[in-house]
Structure 1
């Protein structure tokens, strides 16, 4: 039985899992949807109630009936590398590829439908509340007056993107930013704006959950640091125990979201409370494993190679 890894060519995190799968002797095929059509090819047959499907990449062919699991790691848009790319060709290729893969009995990390929903920040926040996480007060609004009232109520607030990092050329960084007390909120009317109560944190926490396993790492923050993704604090990621409340909340969140994998980000305040910031259903873990030695790639490989009795 074969493991199918859907990702781009340049993906060091996937490389770490590939190495673990090779050590286990597990057959795998690495496929970039961006190479379909072209370097990648597929064929599916639906005849007399039977389904047969095949996918090829790099000179290797895998039968859909022989798939054990599918890791949707960091795939390119279907047909992204086509000779004449178009929105129509991407839609056709995506429907063909993912529709065919959904016909298999393989288990997903993560299911594409669940992954798409899990990327929606408003839904994440609601799910985080339901799961039992501490969540900072948040609003998403296009009403300037509502934004102004929120800022007046909580005094120290930050502004974030609703959808995450936007596609652009050149790439654009949009860090979480403190909003000054005298900010002009008129611009909120131009597009949905996410405002959140600022958590004065003493550390950033990244928790990577693979199946039933949880691996947490902590990095001390500099005083007044807002966005842990930007700037060098002089500290490194270190393994940390997961509080029982967070362990339960992570399990509940993933169950409600139908996720096999999730990378959770928290802000740890001065009292040790882990405040939920977001869950990235396809978040990287390579940087955490390299600094901490936490066996995350091994856990992913174990989940992908598991065969039910």
Structure 2
């Protein structure tokens, strides 16, 4: 079998997993996007299931991991008049290709399910239907509705965005990015705030800490993200780019009732892989926050070497089983060994980043 990674050769996760799969003796192939180069070629033939990506044939018995595809790349000689047409044609062909992958033995994840689960409103709906506790939430562009929501809360309120975004000002030499932050009613006194873009406002859970659960088939690995200084309150957003408080991770056991809800959530969402975020309140209750079907997971091993996330994920992809339930670990497949490899050296050469900055926590 072949594992097809729909990612790119400048992505740490894609290259690390590609290296790990080769260590397992499997054929692995990274293909980023259709384009004018020979390596970007794609062919789909019907009525047979016949797909070729960059010269590599896709079989029904193969595994596909839709990591983070790049946008199609049109030929540089395309005239300005034709660029929009060619871009749209490539996009339509690529969408058709991505939706065809669900017919292989294991697709992590179905493109249709992955796109659906990028929508935070859909995540909350399926989480509620799976019997998770979810914070009170409003999605609105109405100033009065937003202020009324905050006014009725008995706790603090947080604001989060639908998608990550970076404001890069060369003139001011500043770089700002979206983060989950607390918001109060006075922040909405200007109607423009809500009218300029819809808001996601959510009840803030008075938490002990947050928990990240990485789900691979039926395997679930949970870590609590805790302050190294136990006297400090947990941050609203624990991700390092938003939080300057030193954090550490601790392995935690998932309660059986939460495991069952996660299984139900994954089935209803149509996902084989995802990273789920929870807040644990002071009564020990688990509150669902969100799901990231293309989430990062190797940072967990980078922080805690005994959690061999790379080896487990490679075993998951190589199993070809969406119900994968085996914590099989190959001790030679780990980040320390990967970062000694030729693949990692090449990754450093082709990227502006170096070393551990490759691994972001999101």
Normalized against structure 2, the TM-score is what?
Answer: 0.76
Q: Where do residues 1-309 of structure 1 align in structure 2 (5 Å cutoff)? A: 1-33=1-33, 36-38=35-37, 39-46=39-46, 49-56=47-54, 61-65=55-59, 68-79=62-73, 82-83=75-76, 86-100=83-97, 102-103=99-100, 105-106=103-104, 107-155=106-154, 156-161=156-161, 163-166=162-165, 169=168, 172-185=176-189, 186=191, 187-221=193-227, 222-223=232-233, 225-229=235-239, 230-292=242-304, 293-307=306-320
SS of 1:266's equivalent? strand
1:168-201 CA distance string (max 9 Å, x none): 6566411111113433342223331111011122
Inter-CA distance 199–102: structure 2 relative to 1 (3 Å threshold): closer
Inter-CA distance 14–95: structure 2 relative to 1 (3 Å threshold): same
The answer on whether the counterparts of 1:159 and 1:178 sit within 8 Å (CA) in structure 2 is yes
SS of 1:236's equivalent? strand
Inter-CA distance 82–204: structure 2 relative to 1 (3 Å threshold): farther
Deviates more, 1:137-146 or 1:255-264: 137-146
Residue 103 of structure 1: CA displacement? Answer: 4.5
The answer on whether the counterparts of 2:167 and 2:177 sit within 8 Å (CA) in structure 1 is no
Inter-CA distance 96–112: structure 2 relative to 1 (3 Å threshold): same
Deviates more, 1:245-254 or 1:101-110: 101-110
Partners of 1:36 and 1:220 in 2: CA distance: 44
How many pairs does the alignment contain?
Answer: 299
Deviates more, 1:175-184 or 1:258-267: 175-184
The answer on whether the counterparts of 1:158 and 1:177 sit within 8 Å (CA) in structure 2 is yes
Deviates more, 1:119-128 or 1:178-187: 178-187
Residue 218 of structure 1: CA displacement? Answer: 0.9
The answer on whether the counterparts of 1:142 and 1:191 sit within 8 Å (CA) in structure 2 is yes
Partners of 1:168 and 1:300 in 2: CA distance: 33
Flag structure 1 segments of 5+ consecutive residues without an equivalent. Answer: none
The answer on whether the counterparts of 1:4 and 1:67 sit within 8 Å (CA) in structure 2 is no
Flag structure 2 segments of 5+ consecutive residues without an equivalent. Answer: 170-174, 322-362
Partners of 1:131 and 1:98 in 2: CA distance: 29
Residue 95 of structure 1: CA displacement? Answer: 3.1
Q: CA RMSD in A?
A: 2.3
Partners of 2:320 and 2:274 in 1: CA distance: 21
SS of 2:107's equivalent? strand
Structure 1 or 2: more strand by fraction: 1
Partners of 1:50 and 1:11 in 2: CA distance: 32
1:233-269 CA distance string (max 9 Å, x none): 2231121111222211111111001000010111222
Partners of 2:84 and 2:188 in 1: CA distance: 38
Partners of 2:235 and 2:296 in 1: CA distance: 22
Normalized against structure 1, the TM-score is what?
Answer: 0.88
Inter-CA distance 82–283: structure 2 relative to 1 (3 Å threshold): farther
